[in-house]
Chain A
Amino acid sequence: MTTTMERTSAAPARTLRSTEQIPTSRIIGVELQKMFDTRSGFWLLVGGAIVSVIATIITAFADPHLSYGAFAAAIGAPLSIILPMTGILAVTSEWSQRTGLTTFTMVPHRGRVIAAKLAATMLVGLASIAIAFSVGALGNVIGSAVTGHHTVWDISIGNALTIFLADGLGMLMGFMLGVLIRSSSGAIVAYFVYALVLPAAFGALAAFQAWFRHAQGWVDFHDASTRLYDSGMGGSDWAHLAVAGLIWLVIPLAIGLFTLSRSEVK
């Protein structure tokens, strides 16, 4: 029989020692690291870079009217799919891979973790778009030199900014779905429904129903944010974007954050 009756404590009781709150910058750094250190995250981002280079090369040789706009469009298309996926996975992997058990124990403030993920996602998004613009610019210069065309710069600074915004909103949309659904497959399917199925449905509805044709601008967020790619957003376009964004992005995100903060991490 083991006798542990009165363990005359050899050592005094150890007490808590942490005094400093984990700085937000560190949490963002950790979240950035997480986006790159898995194979899926790494290849998603590297794949994005490769695809944008390929798109640039194809554009340089296949498009008879070389312009910066053509390059930007060719690179922007794959990026507009990849960035939302990055946003989704940044959130959902904590649930799908169950790493949330560790993450939310080391930082027991879900709001802080999610905010850090948002910051990390946006940083990656901004960097990706900036790289895409640069690759496009390089392609435009080299492509026009090789083919003997004039180098055409047909994207204004203003338009470049709205393209940034459009890609950023797409990424936020993915992020929102990740927060709301908290499952990788579910959120990815939801994103494609939003990006591919809904526009067609809205288009069909608008074609046959006059009342919806007038309302569409206010409720179709995909349509409203797609207009950001074109130059010349009017005042009503911005109003549409704001209202549709409230419905499709802000409200669901608020609901997602609320349920996420109270949910159980298993």
Chain B
Amino acid sequence: MFPLMRRAGVRGEDQAMISIENLSKTYGGFKAVDDVTFAARAGRVTGFLGPNGAGKSTTMRIMVGLTPPTSGTALIDGRPFAELPNPGLDVGVLLDASAQHAGRTGREILALAARTMGLPRMRVDEMLHRVSLSDSEAERRVKNYSLGMRQRLGIAAALIGDPAVLILDEPANGLDPAGIRWMRDLLREYADQGGTVLLSSHLLHEIEVVADDLVVIGNGRIVASGTKEDLLAAAGTFIRTRDAAGLTRALSAAGISSSVTSEGAVRTDADPEQVGVIALEARIALTELRAADGAGLEEMFLELTAESQRDPISSEGAAA
């Protein structure tokens, strides 16, 4: 069904720190998570990508024991989350930055986390500094925080135990562009130091910049997973020409299927060299010919998750 279907986490040298196997969660008759299997490896940022309601948050809640699965397993370094003696020191978790007591100050929230994990009080100040929350902001009650400030506080709480694994659900929500850049650098650094980062997003652009591996979920099922490069390579070729219709005809005459995007560009699974040869023979001038990268991945994302998208995709069906 999906030509891009790949399984990650089988490379021997990379350690799978988070491994999800055949995980399912059913609510009544509705399958929120449907036989999900993937792994997040140490030293890499794994992007968990899917439209809203695809099952990302449910999967993440199951990982940390907040939601019991219907079947399947979710292990952190081979162990169930609940078996970690002091989980805060091993796994940093941010599921919902708004899920904090509105009447506590940012500092109090971090102090409670530090105390639970048995960390010295000075870790609180270190973390406030790390996420750039000022002293006066830290003394404010969380109900007066913007979403961006809550995200920073949530990141601070996740990092306070200096864990080897980070599980972050939509951490970039509410951050300004500078904040998103900051977060990206922070996660990159974390992975480069040997940490495991799993972050979810419904925005492709947010994730493709930072992720090494991608897991794409739609309607509770994994529709693609693998390294970003593999998925990009599989995304085919992107072509611009004044004669898009002529090119698609020439391609289909050569037995290659293609589609025309809403901007009039042509996309195909064939590689650029093959397309170039066919265009030359058909005497069609190309203004652009390249391996589909970011844009291709976006289309792939839209395509793969088309069934679970609420909005119909305009570029689909444009090619006759």
Q: A-side interface residues toward B, CB under 8 Å?
A: 1-5, 7, 9-22, 26-27, 29-30, 33-34, 37-40, 93, 97-102, 104-109, 262, 264-266
Contacts and interface: CB of A to CB of B under 8 A. Distances in A.
B103 A39 contact: yes
Contacts of B65: 104-105, 108
A7 B293 contact: no
Given A15-B77, A30-B115, A99-B100, A105 B87 contact: yes
Contacts of A105: 64-66, 87-88, 93, 95
Given A14-B194, A108-B64, A264-B61, A97 B212 contact: no
A264 B84 CA distance: 20
Given A1-B293, A9-B194, A13-B194, A29 B115 contact: yes
Contacts, number: 149
B70 to A, nearest CB: 12
B17 interface: yes
Chain B interface residue number, banded: 35 or more
B84 A22 contact: no
Interface in B215-273: 227-229, 232
Contacts of A20: 85-86, 118
Contacts of B85: 18-22
A21 B85 CA distance: 4
B104 interface: yes
B66 A104 contact: yes
Nearest to B109: A102
B98 interface: yes
B206 interface: no
A80 B96 CA distance: 36
Contacts of A106: 87-88, 113, 116-117
20 contacts: A1-B293, A11-B43, A12-B194, A14-B193, A14-B195, A15-B77, A16-B79, A18-B85, A22-B86, A22-B117, A30-B116, A38-B103, A97-B100, A97-B101, A99-B100, A101-B95, A105-B66, A105-B93, A107-B116, A108-B65
